[in-house]
């Protein structure tokens, strides 16, 4: 054993915790959608591309768990807004690469600064120990939820 005391949670408690997490994230993301006038998928793709760019449209489809036509439509929308660009892949001319533009990068920075301001404001009053616990949980969410090894994950 690793010295940690296991905590027994009932199925109902786990369901309520997961629903509470989903509700909180949904409400938080809705604020971004309303504030910046983009869909959740558009914001998510921009954030992915800000961290890993360029990506093939096929990788975008896999990462967002969308059919190819859905990923293509999403890329088309963001390209029309000049937030991303699309080029041919030099190693495979059938493949198209998607990259974030300067406008897209600037928008992601605004979105993330907006989120950072909210989180900083709302963490005020938490102890360093509580903040440390929150950080540990958030960093462990993929493992807790069993989503860390999915194909196409970003």
Q: Mean pLDDT for the chain?
A: 88
Supply the pTM of this predicted model. 0.81
| Per-domain boundaries in the chain | 11-145
Distance CA(109)–CA(76), nearest Å, equals: 21
Strand order in the sheet with 84-89: 55-56, 92-100, 84-89
Distance CA(59)–CA(65), nearest Å, equals: 9
pLDDT-based confidence at 6, cuts 50/70/90? low
State the pLDDT at residue 144: 83
Smallest Cα–Cα separation from 82: which of 103, 64, 97, 67?
103
Query: Omega into 54 within 30° of 0, i.e. cis?
Result: yes
Cβ contact 111:36 at 8 Å: yes
CA 99 from chain center: how many Å? 17
Question: At the topology level of CATH, where does 11-145 sit?
Answer: Arc Repressor Mutant, subunit A (1.10.10)
């Amino acid at each position: 054993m690793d010295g940690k005391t296991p905590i027994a949670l009932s199925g109902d408690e786990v369901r309520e915790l997961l629903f509470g997490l989903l509700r909180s994230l949904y409400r938080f993301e809705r604020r971004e959608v309303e504030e910046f006038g983009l869909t959740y998928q558009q914001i998510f793709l921009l954030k992915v591309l800000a961290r890993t760019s360029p990506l093939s449209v096929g990788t975008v489809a896999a990462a967002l768990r969308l059919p190819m036509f859905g990923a293509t439509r999403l890329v088309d929308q963001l390209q029309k807004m000049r937030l991303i660009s699309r080029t041919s892949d030099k190693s495979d001319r059938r493949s198209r690469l998607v990259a974030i533009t300067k406008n897209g990068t600037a928008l992601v920075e605004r979105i993330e600064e907006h989120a950072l301001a909210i989180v900083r404001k709302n963490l005020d009053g938490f102890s360093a120990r509580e903040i440390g616990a929150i950080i540990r949980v958030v960093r462990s969410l993929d493992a807790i939820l069993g989503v860390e090894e999915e194909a196409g994950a970003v």
